[in-house]
Amino acid sequence: MEAVEMNSVSLKRPHSEDDVASADEIKRQKILEKSKAGSDSGQSIETVTEQLKDIKSEMIPNDESEEQEEEDLGDSDEDGDPESFADMMKHGLTESDVGITKFVSSHKGFSGILKERYSDFVVHEIGKDGRVSHLDDFSVPVDDEVNFEDPSEETFTVLSDEDKQRLEELQLFKNKEASVAIEVIEDTKEKRTIIHQAVKSLFPGLETKTEDRDGKKYIIAYHAAGKKALANPRKHSWPKSRGSYCHFVLYKENKDTMDAINVLSKFLRVKPNIFSYMGTKDKRAITVQEIAVLRITAQRLAHLNKCLMNFKLGNFSYKNHPLKLGELQGNHFTVVLRNITGTDDQIEQAMHSLREIGFINYYGMQRFGTTAVPTYQIGRAILQNNWTEVMDLILKPRPGAEKGYLVKCREEWAKTKDPAAALKKLPVKRCVEGQLLRGLLNYQSYVWNNMVSKRIEEYGLRAVPGDLILKGATAVHIEEGDVDNYTIHDVVMPLPGFDVIYPKHKIGEAYKEMLVADNLDINNMRHKIRDYSLSGAYRKIIIRPQNVNWEVVAYDDPKIPLFTTDLDKLEGKPLPVLPMDGKFRALKMEFSLPPSTYATMAIREVLKMDTSIKNQTQLNTTWLR
């Protein structure tokens, strides 16, 4: 079956180059000396990690937040030259580069624009109880405990920015003062009460009192319990009857989950690690998910709705537990594919196939990045103990959408192999450990994609003897006499690791051959460094989406929304009025998927097209100009 070229697509475009910040020369000199000492070709993992970790740690001032890294390294959908981006993406990965080559449906493909607007892609989280998260309530819950009052609206504005800065330093013991004095300009009891309440609400652990000084009244803030309060300051002002965690629904537009958490923590003046969630969500989309935060009131969270753009918080409740990664059942997607070219019959066939058969459960292109140096190659080099290659892959030039300083850093490394010289070009931190571990996961994903393509090519859409199925958490082989009891939807394939078994047919041998070609032993996937050992796992070959629905609509204006969001409904916005005979057609589709599956792979099966940015860019030269 052939993929069909797509006439036009939407793209993510990079920031224009930021100004390069100069690093502290004393810190720089320390790391330059360390780097030169270990620049020989026979490097160990300890040398590699230390050199690269030092690049991360020594180049950044103390306590610099993760937000800076996200801002410096993130993409933008508005800035940058589209033609430059298109030129860079000529060097990017295609689906075939990462093993994505097969389809399971028989319909003829057609084209459509995926994510022309970020609002064309909406994700609602499905919790562990099977409930779909929706933002449909902005009200704040009322506590049973009458002695505790949530702060009034004025609480959030009564303190100046300077007062808040001084109080925060006091709360965190960052200054030598034992107290902070705030002059009360309006000498009324009501005004003083609001200031008392503001200090204790916004800076838990601090207490207040009123004092007269030289004929003026001051509110004095001080620590109630010394440094013991710093360990858990909110316990001093939190009702015992209230659950320790405020759960809420986060509605966000065009931001990924960690970006959102960093913004919320900045405005609340708390550490990001007091937030918990069940899964991360796409950036270029509208997403709705549940978040939990430790000992922050619903009223304080609700106030952020007046301060932040592209976020809304609601559906507040207090519970005694945080959220944990992986607890969700999946996600429900609402997707609009604009300017489709398929006939009504082609669309019906495609959507019926998606509902009845499903799609190949490939790891999507988001897993592997967009540049010419895929991260799975880093994972392969780690498994081979080839640390010089690990260094080269992380630091060598990679044509693609990167910041100017990263390009210069990589060029310097390729030219000199001198970490000190390369370091001078790099003003921001990079999480080396994260790159290494992502590389391992992506190597597994790369192998799995290639093997599942071979499995579909060799045996088609039926269960065969030697395939694997899961019984509980254990994988077993399908025996000859039992094959009729199973379908392709029962079959799983292993991600390579030291504690998995492999199919007892040609694909088991194909796994071995692929790993041998990479100088790896399929029977010994343990690594001498524990963190880099691959334990393996199992993944279904075919995913059949649930709750599949679709509709073809006509429209004239590509800028108008084609459905209402949760926020639209809360704000009372009417449904869009669409013409009966518009010059464009769009496919509106809905479906639910389990965790760790890729909606883009389901859409790929419907359209029969390569979803890589490289391919989309090449097919879309007219739109880019």
Q: Which residue has the tokens 């009458």?
A: 146
Residues in a beta bridge with 330: 126
Max mean pLDDT among 88-97, 180-189, 312-321, 405-414 falls in 312-321
Give me the pLDDT at residue 379, please: 78
Q: Which two tokens stand for residue 143?
A: 């506590």
DSSP state for residue 186 in the 8-state scheme: S
Give me the pLDDT at residue 10, please: 31
Exposure string (b/e) for 176-187, b if CB count within 10 Å is 16 or more?
eeeebebeeeee
- Report which of residues 609 and 143 the model is more confident about: 609
Q: Is 563 within 8 Å of 536 (Cβ atoms)?
A: no
Give me the pLDDT at residue 37, please: 42
Instruction: Provide the residue count of the chain.
Output: 625
Please state, in angstroms and rounded to a whole number, the distance separating the CA atoms of residues 440 and 524.
15
Q: What are phi and psi of 167, to 5 degrees?
A: -70, -40
Mean pLDDT, residues 211-215: 84
- Range in 276-285, 390-399, 452-461, 484-493 with the lowest mean pLDDT: 390-399
Mean pLDDT, residues 416-431: 60
Cα dihedral 328/290/543/383 (nearest 10): -70
Q: Confidence band (pLDDT; 50, 70, 90) for 143?
A: low
- Range in 483-487, 565-569, 580-584 with the lowest mean pLDDT: 580-584
H/E run at residue 579? none
Please state, in angstroms and rounded to a whole number, the distance separating the CA atoms of residues 181 and 234.
22
Give me the pLDDT at residue 161, please: 85
54, 120, 282, 566: the catalytic one is 282
- Range in 224-233, 313-322, 547-556 with the lowest mean pLDDT: 224-233
Residue 233 has pLDDT above 90, yes or no: no
Residue 608 has pLDDT above 80, yes or no: yes
Q: Which two tokens stand for residue 380?
A: 């392969």
Please provide the DSSP assignment of 477-519 as one string.
EPPGGGGGG--GGGEEEEEP-TT----SSHHHHHHHHHHHHTT
Give me the pLDDT at residue 403, please: 58
Q: Is 7 within 8 Å of 614 (Cβ atoms)?
A: no
At 442-471, the pLDDT tens digits run 888 999 999 999 999 999 999 999 999 999
- Percentage of the chain beyond pLDDT 90 is 41
Residue 303 has pLDDT above 80, yes or no: yes
Tell me which residue of 392, 391, 502, 377 sits closest to 440, measured CA to CA: 377
Q: Is 140 within 8 Å of 299 (Cβ atoms)?
A: yes
Catalytic (active site) residue 77: no
Q: Which two tokens stand for residue 559?
A: 């800028």
Give me the pLDDT at residue 464, please: 98
- Range in 62-71, 356-365, 596-605 with the lowest mean pLDDT: 62-71
pTM over 0.85: no
Q: Which two tokens stand for residue 425?
A: 């070009």
